[in-house]
Amino acid sequence: MKTRMNPRVFFGASAVVAALLFGTLLAPGTADAAFRAAQSWAIETFGLFYIASVAVFLVVVLALGFGPAGKLKLGPDDAEPDFPYLSWLAMLFAAGMGIGLMYFAVAEPIQHYISPPEAESGTISAAREAMAITFHHYGVHAWAIYALVGLSLGYFTYRKELPLTLRSGLSPILGKRINGVAGDAIDIFAVCGTVFGVATSLGFGVSQMTAGLNYNYGLPDTTIAKIIVIALVMGAATLSVLSGADRGIRRLSELNLTVAVLLMLFVMAVGPTLFLLRALVQNFGLYLDHFVMRTFTLYAYEPRAWMADWTLFYWAWWIAWSPFVGMFIARISRGRTIREFVIGVLFVPTAFTFLWMTVFGNTAIALDLGAASGGIADAVQANLSTALFKFLSYLPGAGFTHGAGGPARRGVLHHLGGFGRARHRHARLRWCGGDAQVAAHVLVHPARRDGGVAVACRRPRRVAGGDVAGGPAVLFHHAASGIWPRPADGCRSGGRPH
């Protein structure tokens, strides 16, 4: 097979990643200070810009979806969708949230419950506020960011016949310059941001896998164990890449969603089912009631570090991920109308996420107020990676949910595999000018590189008294996106690291 690759993007991105990684590993103290200074400046300077931008993104996406442009197809007028609707939704779910829902489903609502920005900690008011905040962070605002990038790329790729690369979305501004140095720089920047974001998310997922094995079976939660899991995950993703362009990611995504739904239904069945249904309705009502207020909240009159640790963190996180997720969504959405795209991307995953967060978050809070007597809150503060497994241990049938091969562990592993597979497809499209037909050694390079970055960065960095999974990679990723990571294992949320 002939390799059709953009060498400037391929080698340029690889060189930047290598230079930043080795520089951080060789001089971690200097890199730490530089990144902290950069993120502090970015928070003070661009916090308002993040909030305003996300609000504008949401308005623009809604206007495109429900205005006259909504009838246009992403492709020729007679184009048909490449994937069945349910498979398309499964792939949206796997690429857009994936491991984050497994890792933070219990941890985030409990953290807001313990340390809310306004309510009194540990009260019923704190529980309500915790779920309203969680819905806000995982709601339509996040998906609007992905949808805007995906729409722009899909439109210019399938209707204007431009390559499926990030530079194509800027063609109205740059014109023919997207084919030159400016276009290469855009793609290099996008690849670098995605690489370090992958290492960070891989760190979260692998930490949860090895911590769960240690929690349940006493297996060592060591660097060697994490390296083995990273190698297995990236190896599975590579085999999926080589097995076929669309079949691998589709099947993995469907498996991800199936395992996630089974786990969620189990928790709903053995947990306080009627209470969860009531809570879902009330949580959604609170979300709608606070929608406009939270969209524009900056705590301008009473500045709080909480804003930087949470909402600004999430908006920067979603924006940093938007090139990767947006390009993947565009790739799988050919043949759909803009209105169908907006409804599918903006509302369907959000609805599932709300149900997921209600089932896990409200059950965790209810247990913490009752049978656990604060045990789940203590587990979240002690180690985020084991919070899900500690939560499941308070439910009937705990051996099924997190025992050998149980849905909890399979869910984490499948999300990691599907996530890596989508990442590799995204990388080859960038490097090869939107051309998916490339040689095998180009296809497997993302697995070697991303796995290597994740392994190299297993040496943790200390932030606010806690280790941050991903080490130097997470330092670079969050400094580059402008927001420092939230306090991690062993520390309370609510205070920005200093």
pLDDT beyond 70 at 416: no
Task: Please name which of 38, 10, 9, 12 lies closest in space to residue 24, comparing C-alpha atoms.
Answer: 38
pLDDT beyond 80 at 293: yes
pLDDT of residue 41: 84
pLDDT of residue 448: 54
Lowest mean pLDDT among 28-37, 72-81, 331-340, 478-487: 478-487
| Measured distance CA(218)–CA(212) in Å, rounded | 9
pLDDT of residue 399: 60
Q: Map out the domains of the chain with their CATH numbers.
A: 7-481 (1.20.1740)
pLDDT of residue 242: 66
* pLDDT grade for 432, boundaries at 50, 70 and 90: low
C-alpha neighbours within 13 Å on the C-beta side of residue 92 = 28
pLDDT of residue 400: 59
> How much is the average pLDDT of 401-427?
48
* pLDDT grade for 491, boundaries at 50, 70 and 90: very low
Average pLDDT, the chain: 79
Q: Is the pLDDT higher at 280 or at 492?
A: 280
pLDDT of residue 389: 86
Lowest mean pLDDT among 164-173, 251-260, 326-335: 251-260
pLDDT of residue 453: 57
pLDDT beyond 50 at 476: no
Tell me the per-residue pLDDT of 342-375, one tens digit each, with 9 for 90 and over: 999 999 999 999 999 999 999 999 999 988 999 9
Judged by DSSP in three states, 83 sits in coil
Number of neighbouring beta carbons within 10 Å of residue 235 = 15
pLDDT beyond 70 at 121: yes
Tell me the per-residue pLDDT of 155-211, one tens digit each, with 9 for 90 and over: 999 999 998 888 999 999 999 899 999 999 999 988 887 777 677 677 777 887 888
| Measured distance CA(82)–CA(462) in Å, rounded | 46
pLDDT of residue 465: 31
Tell me the per-residue pLDDT of 217-247, one tens digit each, with 9 for 90 and over: 788 888 888 888 888 877 777 776 666 546 6
pLDDT of residue 92: 85
Number of neighbouring beta carbons within 10 Å of residue 289 = 11
Contact 227, 210 (CB under 8 A): no
Q: Is the pLDDT higher at 385 or at 272?
A: 272
pLDDT beyond 50 at 381: yes
Q: Is the pLDDT higher at 59 or at 426?
A: 59
pLDDT of residue 318: 87
Handedness of CA 104, 105, 106, 110 (dihedral sign): positive
Question: How much of the chain exceeds pLDDT 70, in percent?
Answer: 76
> How much is the average pLDDT of 249-260?
79
Number of neighbouring beta carbons within 10 Å of residue 338 = 24
Alpha helices in 290-386 (DSSP H): 291-296, 305-309, 311-332, 338-342, 348-357, 363-369, 375-382
Token couple for 160: 């204007």
